[in-house]
Structure 1
Amino acid sequence: MNKLWVGFKNYRFFSANKSFFQLGVVWFTFSIILIIAIVLTYGVTINENYVGCISAKCYETFIDSYKLPIGILSLLIPIGAIYAAQHRSEISIAQIKSIESQNKFANYYKHLEEFNNLLTNNKCNETFLSVSKLHKQLFPGSRDGIFEIDEDTTKYLNNRLLLTHQNLKKLEKYIDSIKIDDVSDNSNLIKLLLTSHYPIVDIRKYLGFKDINYPLHSLKRKLKINEVYFSDIYQDITNTCQILEVILSFDQEYELLDELIMLAQMQYEQEKKDLSVNNPIKLKLRSSLR
């Protein structure tokens, strides 16, 4: 019963895709009124002994006798006018929605075109597998006229960036107190380096970068500190964050995370001092991280 009621409520009695006299509700209403009028007329006729005439008295008698069925038939005029007005209203609503849909469609492609131009001008368009998929990931509501970066995407990116920032801070702090000859120190160093980079790898996969740049798989616990190549990972973090600055700034209302700006501006210096074969390279990190 509930389904029947829901279906009745959702039925479009005044479809804008049909002409007025194609509407089922019009035919149904007119038919009911006509049937009632015919039945009443028949009832009056068979109960009276009328004969045909064209005198004024006859017309007066006709109007008086058949005033009820005539009154029922006269309801067709106001009801038809109401139905016609409602049908015109539905047509107007459909036209407005059609115009809005066309505008949204045009605005969506304009937004996508400008986004692609932004990436092209900043030489980032070849960085991604698909610019349109990246645009959809950042602006999933753009087809509906919503041109703000998705809230879930913002939360995900901020979470990854904060994690990278925190791990890099730990890494730089740890390097200051590292013991070169301690293998466990080397293991911790490698672990901190990789955990700093993994969130960036996640971001690159999430946004569809062509080059994922997985952390160096050759980094194992047994390696010595001088075999760890910091600059590649630091450079990948910085480059990724610089690209993020470009694409996120496309939304002028978007507030860039402070940590993102710092990671994008981060500078890395590796100071090498080859002391002997047995002594590893001394590493020194300097960056703009705060």
Structure 2
Amino acid sequence: MKEKSLLQLKRFWLPVLFVIVVAVAIAIYIYKSSSLVFVPGYEGLDGLVKIYKVPLGVLSLLFPLVALIATSHRSEQTKKQIEMSYLQNSFSNFYKHLEEFDKLVNKSNDFGLREFNPFDLYKILFPLNSPSNVITCSHGKDKGAVSKLNEIATKLVDKVSLINEFKGDYNKLEVVYIDFFVLLINASIELSFIPRPNNAVRWVKFKGFDVSFPLFTTSLKPFLHYDLLSNYINQLSGFGMISVEMPELNIDEKKNILAQSVLIDVTVRS
């Protein structure tokens, strides 16, 4: 919508006309209630000014009043220009941020992932972002909430720490492994880290579970999926400017063999 000039605004003319009407009304009152005699020359003009000094004083209020209205109008125009500039910058920054995120996600092809819509993952990591508002740090759905990426990473870190510290009791470790791989699958689904079929991918399920899922895993590297997902999370956290450091798994031969027994190979399929 086209901006109106100062002279087109009602809030300019209403106070101006009010002052003029008041001044004219006072002048008429003076004229009607006084016995004025015409006196030519300087003395007449001087007397006229003295007689009508009140309505003239009222009219003089127009100058500061107009200046005040003009200043207010300029301030509003400046505010609107700043808001428009902010919206334009936010719009540009949003799509630039999304473009850079898309480039980062496209690098996930190096991992051999199934195709997915990068915007779906973007909304998980930056749920409050929009063309009118851009927050470059990954965040939660509510203001001040922890990022979903941080939540996922924290759960994985806690479970990995437990596995790394576990010694001796492999019966309990088997249960921890099942919890770990279920958590790994949930994290992969939420972050769209689902592999395409290749030589390092197996459809697996766990003891006591009917659900199967594709994981990066081989007979020699049952935890390959975690290693790759950790790298993926580190890349996302770097883009989202959050501090996430995924630990390495300390796996001895017995732990490795136990993990292979927990993961039941279903079939290779596309």
TM-score (norm 1): 0.65
Q: Report what 1:93 is aligned to.
A: 79
Q: Report what 1:106 is aligned to.
A: 92
- The answer (yes or no) to whether the contact 2:121–2:191 under 8 Å persists in 1 is yes
Shift of 1:196: 0.9
Pairing 1:206–2:194 present = no
Structure 1 stretches lacking a partner, 5+ long: 1-15, 179-184, 222-228, 272-281
**Which of the numbers 24, 30, 52 marks the counterpart of 1:38?**
24
Query: Counterparts of 1:1-290 in structure 2 under 5 Å?
Result: 17-50=3-36, 55-123=41-109, 127=114, 129-140=116-127, 143=130, 144-150=133-139, 152-153=146-147, 154-169=149-164, 173=167, 176-178=168-170, 185=171, 188=172, 190-209=174-193, 219-220=207-208, 234-251=223-240, 253-257=241-245, 260-262=246-248, 283=257
The one-character-per-residue Cα deviations of 1:125-179 (angstroms, maximum 9, x if unpaired) are: 9646421232233234655343122261154133222233134336x63xx444x
Letter matched to residue 228 of structure 2: N
Percent of aligned positions with the same letter in both sequences? 22
**CA-atom RMSD, angstroms?**
3.8
Letter matched to residue 146 of structure 2: D
Are the structure 2 counterparts of residues 87 and 130 from structure 1 closer, same or farther at C-alpha, using a change threshold of 3 Å?
Answer: same
The one-character-per-residue Cα deviations of 1:252-278 (angstroms, maximum 9, x if unpaired) are: x54332xx1425xx778689xxxxxxx
The one-character-per-residue Cα deviations of 1:17-39 (angstroms, maximum 9, x if unpaired) are: 44213434323322332232132
CA distance in 1: counterparts of 2:104 and 2:194, whole angstroms: 18
Bigger strand share: 2
Shift of 1:82: 2.1
- The answer (yes or no) to whether the contact 2:23–2:59 under 8 Å persists in 1 is yes
Shift of 1:44: 0.9
TM-score (norm 2): 0.69
Are the structure 2 counterparts of residues 189 and 216 from structure 1 closer, same or farther at C-alpha, using a change threshold of 3 Å?
Answer: farther
Are the structure 2 counterparts of residues 28 and 204 from structure 1 closer, same or farther at C-alpha, using a change threshold of 3 Å?
Answer: farther
Letter matched to residue 105 of structure 1: F
CA distance in 1: counterparts of 2:73 and 2:258, whole angstroms: 77
CA distance in 2: counterparts of 1:169 and 1:230, whole angstroms: 20
Bigger helix share: 1
Q: Report what 2:198 is aligned to.
A: none
Q: Number of residues paired by the alignment?
A: 236
- The answer (yes or no) to whether the contact 1:38–1:69 under 8 Å persists in 2 is yes
Structure 2 stretches lacking a partner, 5+ long: 140-144, 196-200, 210-216, 261-270
Letter matched to residue 156 of structure 1: E
CA distance in 2: counterparts of 1:50 and 1:125, whole angstroms: 102
CA distance in 1: counterparts of 2:247 and 2:24, whole angstroms: 83
Q: Report what 1:3 is aligned to.
A: none
